[in-house]
Structure 1
Amino acid sequence: MEELMEVLSALKPEIDFTKETELIDEGLLESFDVITLIAELEDQFGVEIPAEEIVPENFNSAEGIWRLLERMKEEA
């Protein structure tokens, strides 16, 4: 999780990812941010995130992103 927080903070240092739970719904992460984040996550964690997993529920919070990563690692 610490590694994820570093990736998120590098992407958007002005956001407190420990508290935000509506990153997509409130427009804190825009589509370009999500695409950049996905590329970074795939590189950093050695996973592939399929298009059908790119939904707001998976990217609204750091916790949601972490659960997605855990799932992708299990399926790899």
Structure 2
Amino acid sequence: MNELLDILKDLKPGVDFENEKNLIDDRILDSLDVMNLTVELNDEFDIEITPLDILPENFQSIETIYQLITRLQEDN
């Protein structure tokens, strides 16, 4: 989870990712941010986030992003 937090902080400095629960709904992350994040996550965690995975509910919080990563790692 620390690696994920570092990636998010590099992407959007100053956001309290540990407590924010509405990254998409509150427009903290926009579509470009999600695409950049997807590339970073694919590289860092050796996963493949497909267009089918790019859903708002998968990117609402650090917890939902981490759940996505974990699920994709288990599928490998």
Range class of TM-score, shorter chain: over 0.9
Deviations 1:8-60 (A, max 9, x none): 00100111000100000010000000000000000011000111110011000
1:9 aligns with 2:33: no
Matched length: 76
Q: Distance in 2 between matches of 1:25 and 1:56?
A: 8
Q: Which residue pairs with 2:49 in the alignment?
A: 49
Give the percent of matched residue pairs that are identical in Structure 1 and Structure 2.
46
The TM-score normalised by the length of structure 1 is 0.98
Q: Which residue pairs with 1:63 in the alignment?
A: 63
Runs of 4+ with >3 A deviation: none
What residue ranges of structure 1 are gaps of 5+ in the alignment?
A: none
The TM-score normalised by the length of structure 2 is 0.98
